[in-house]
Amino acid sequence: MTNSEQERWSRVKGRLRSTVGEDVYTSWFARMDLEAVQDESVHLSVPTRFLKSWIQAHYAERVLSCWQAEMPEVHRIDLSVRTAMRCATPAKEAPVAVEARRAERGDAKPADTRAPVMTPVAASHDALGGSPLDPRLTFASFVVGRANTLAHAAARQVADGRRGDPVMFNPLYIHAGVGLGKTHLLQAVTWAGNAGGERKVLYLTAEKFMYGFVAALKSQTALAFKEALRGIDVLVIDDLQFLQGKSTQAEFCHTLNALIDAGRQVVIAADRPPSDLESLDDRVRSRLAGGLVVEMATLGEDLRLGILKSRVAAARAHHASFDVPEPVLDYLARSITHNGRDLEGAINRLLAHSKLNNQPVTLDMAEREVRDLVRPQEPKRIKIEDIQRVVARQYNVSRSDLLSSRRTANVVRPRQVAMYLAKTLTLRSLPEIGRRFGGRDHTTVLHAVRKIEALVGKDTTLNDEVEALKRQLQD
Ligand code: ADP
Ligand code: MG
C-alpha cells in the first residue's frame, strides 16, 4: 500500500470519527483496516463477523460517504473478515459488497455471538440497564456560560422535577456540535434525577436503544422491552442522529408518543436540530420539534477557561502536587478553541507529562505538549442554507431558483457550485445534499461536484469565485 493511500485512510478515519463520535468510533471502527484500494472500490477488513454485519447494517452509507469525501470516484466498499494470519494468507471469506442502500439496513443481524467482551453483545444482556454513566459527568462539574445557559437551566429543571409534577416541555431536545457538552449534560440529568430514588431516569445512547431493541426482538421479548421502557419516568437518549433503520425508528416513535402522552419526560441530544435529522420521518421530527429545542453554542473563552479549571481541580483530587499556573491556563483557553474533549485531553497530557518527568507545568512544556490540539482557526459548522444564500447572492439569482427545476445556464452553474461547496464544506452525504436541493437524486449532486472539480482546474475565473465563496462562508 502506498503512503498516500495510508494518508488518505487516516483522513477517512478522521472523518468517520468526527461524524460518529469517539465512542461509536471506538466500538465499531477502531479495528477496521484498509486492505486495498482498487479503481472504484475500497477493500476494508474487520476481525469478526459480528463487526462486519453490524457495520454493514448500520454504517455502510456513512463509511462510503467518508471515502467519497476524500475520493469521489469510490463507489463501493468491500468489507471482509480478516483471519488471524492474514499476512501469510489472504482473507478466507470472499468480501461482500456493502452497497449504500437503504434496503440493506436493519435486516442484517449480528451473526457472531463469540464477539469479544467489549462489543455491545455483552451489554445486550442488560438491554434496559441503560448505557454506562461516567461518574465525573455531573452538574457539579458542568461549567455554565453563555453558550449553554438555557440548556443547563432546562436540564436542571428536568432533573429537579418530582414524580407527578406537570411536565413543562416535552421533549427537551438539546443540539450542539461534537464536544460541546451534550453527553455531560444528559448524564448529569441522569445522575441527579436518580439521586432521590423516587424516579427512574434511564440514559440510553441511540445505539443502545437500537441494539436493545434488535436484541429484544431476536429473543422475542419485545413486549417486555417496551413495557420496561414505558415504566420509567425520564428517558434520556443521547446521539439521536445515529438512530437508523425503519423498524427501530417506528419503535422509537411509539415509545416517544407513549411516554409523552403518559406525561413522562423525554430528553434528547443530537448533533443537529430536529429539522436536519433527515432520515427520520416527518411526524417524528415535528414531535421532536414540538417540545423545547435548545442549541448549545461553541464554547467561549471564559467557558473554556472554566472547564480547564474544573478539570485541573478534579485531577488534583488524586494528584495533589499537580498544578497548572494561570498563564498556562490562559494560553490553553485561548488556543484550544475546538471542543471540550481537546481541553480535557490537554489537561491529561500535562498531568501525564509532569508526573512521568516529575516536573512542574510550564508554558514551554504546555506549548510543546498540546501543539497538535491547537488549531489555527476554529472550523466553523457551515450550513447548506448559508451556502445557498451566499451563492445565490454572488450570482444574482434567488435561493428558490437554486432549488427549482429550471435548467437555464444562469441557474445551472450556480446550482452546481452550491452543491460542490455543500459537498466540500460540510459532512453531508450526497443523498442528503440532493434532498436539500429541491429533492434531487444523489447522482445529480455527484455530477455537479465532478463538473466543478474539473472546471476549477481550468477556469481561473471560476476558481477565484469558488475560493472567494469559500472564504465568505468560512469567516
Ligand atoms: P458531546 O457529547 O457534546 O460531544 P461531551 O459532553 O462528551 O460532548 O463533552 C466533551 C468533554 O468536554 C467532556 O470531557 C466534558 O466533560 C467537557 N465539557 C463540555 N462542556 C462542558 C461544560 N460546560 N462544563 C464542563 N465540562 C464540559
Ligand atoms: Mg456525546
Q: Are residues 124 and 244 in the same domain?
A: yes
Q: Are residues 251 and 361 in the same domain?
A: no
Say if residue 49's pLDDT is above 80. Answer: no
Q: Of 312, 237, 225, 235, nearest to 277 (Cα)? A: 237
Among the candidates 373, 395, 426, a domain finishes at 373
Q: Are residues 14 and 133 in the same domain?
A: no
Residue 141 CA: nearest ligand 1 atom is 25
Query: For the segment 410-433, what is each residue's pLDDT rounded down to a tens digit?
Result: 999 999 999 999 999 988 889 999
**Is the CB of residue 296 less than 8 Å from the CB of residue 272?**
no
CA of 256 to the centre of ligand 1 (A): 26
CATH code of the domain containing 30: 3.30.300.180
- With respect to residue 108, please indicate whether it lies within any of the assigned structural domains: yes
Say if residue 126's pLDDT is above 60. Answer: no
Residue 178 CA: nearest ligand 1 atom is 4
What mean pLDDT comes out for the span 96-100?
A: 37
**Is the CB of residue 61 less than 8 Å from the CB of residue 25?**
no
Residue 296 CA: nearest ligand 1 atom is 3
Is 181 annotated for ligand binding? yes
CATH code of the domain containing 227: 3.40.50.300
Q: Are residues 312 and 437 in the same domain?
A: no
Q: Is 142 in the pocket of ligand 1 (CB under 6 A)?
A: yes
CATH code of the domain containing 353: 1.10.8.60
Mean pLDDT for the chain?
Answer: 83
Res 169: pLDDT? 87
Best of 17, 182, 302, 307 to mutate for ligand 1, by most ligand atoms within 8 A of CB? 307
Which protein residue's CA is at the shortest distance from atom 25 of ligand 1? 142
CATH code of the domain containing 389: 1.10.1750.10
Best of 19, 26, 184 to mutate for ligand 1, by most ligand atoms within 8 A of CB? 184
Is 196 annotated for ligand binding? no
Is 423 annotated for ligand binding? no
Query: For the segment 198-240, what is each residue's pLDDT rounded down to a tens digit?
Result: 899 999 998 888 877 667 766 766 677 677 776 789 999 999 9
Q: Are residues 144 and 267 in the same domain?
A: yes
Say if residue 168's pLDDT is above 80. Answer: yes
Q: Is 276 in the pocket of ligand 1 (CB under 6 A)?
A: no
Among the candidates 274, 295, 316, a domain finishes at 295
**Is the CB of residue 343 less than 8 Å from the CB of residue 324?**
no
- With respect to residue 219, please indicate whether it lies within any of the assigned structural domains: yes
Which protein residue's CA is at the shortest distance from atom 4 of ligand 1? 179
Q: Are residues 220 and 193 in the same domain?
A: yes
Strand pairing class (96-98; 76-81): antiparallel
Q: Is 182 in the pocket of ligand 1 (CB under 6 A)?
A: yes
- With respect to residue 379, please indicate whether it lies within any of the assigned structural domains: no
Q: Are residues 399 and 311 in the same domain?
A: no
- With respect to residue 392, please indicate whether it lies within any of the assigned structural domains: yes
Which protein residue's CA is at the shortest distance from atom 23 of ligand 1? 143
Q: Are residues 291 and 325 in the same domain?
A: no
Nearest ligand to the C-alpha atom of residue 239? 2
Q: Are residues 120 and 258 in the same domain?
A: yes
Query: For the segment 309-340, what is each residue's pLDDT rounded down to a tens digit?
Result: 999 999 998 899 999 999 999 999 998 887 88
- With respect to residue 153, please indicate whether it lies within any of the assigned structural domains: yes
Residues 6+ apart with CB under 8 A from 68: 74, 430
Residue type, 344: E
Res 218: pLDDT? 67
- With respect to residue 88, please indicate whether it lies within any of the assigned structural domains: no
Is 424 annotated for ligand binding? no
CA of 48 to the centre of ligand 2 (A): 26
Res 375: pLDDT? 65
Q: Which domain holds residue 41?
A: 3-81
d(Cα 282, Cα 275) in Å, to the nearest integer? Answer: 9
CA of 184 to the centre of ligand 1 (A): 5
Q: Is 148 in the pocket of ligand 1 (CB under 6 A)?
A: yes
In percent, how much of the chain has pLDDT > 90?
46
CA of 130 to the centre of ligand 1 (A): 20
As for how many domains the chain has, the answer is: 4
Residue with more model confidence, 461 or 164: 461
Q: Is 178 in the pocket of ligand 1 (CB under 6 A)?
A: yes
What mean pLDDT comes out for the span 256-274?
A: 90
Residue 238 CA: nearest ligand 1 atom is 2
Q: Is 341 in the pocket of ligand 1 (CB under 6 A)?
A: yes
Say if residue 52's pLDDT is above 90. Answer: no
Q: Are residues 306 and 289 in the same domain?
A: no
Q: Are residues 312 and 271 in the same domain?
A: no
Among the candidates 295, 318, 345, a domain finishes at 295
Res 443: pLDDT? 94
Query: For the segment 345-401, what is each residue's pLDDT rounded down to a tens digit?
Result: 999 999 999 988 889 999 999 998 888 888 655 456 789 999 999 999 999 999 999
Which protein residue's CA is at the shortest distance from atom 1 of ligand 1? 179
Residue with cell 443530537: 270
- With respect to residue 89, please indicate whether it lies within any of the assigned structural domains: no
pTM beyond cutoff 0.85: no
Q: Is 295 in the pocket of ligand 1 (CB under 6 A)?
A: no
- With respect to residue 35, please indicate whether it lies within any of the assigned structural domains: yes
Q: Are residues 123 and 75 in the same domain?
A: no
Q: Is 340 in the pocket of ligand 1 (CB under 6 A)?
A: yes
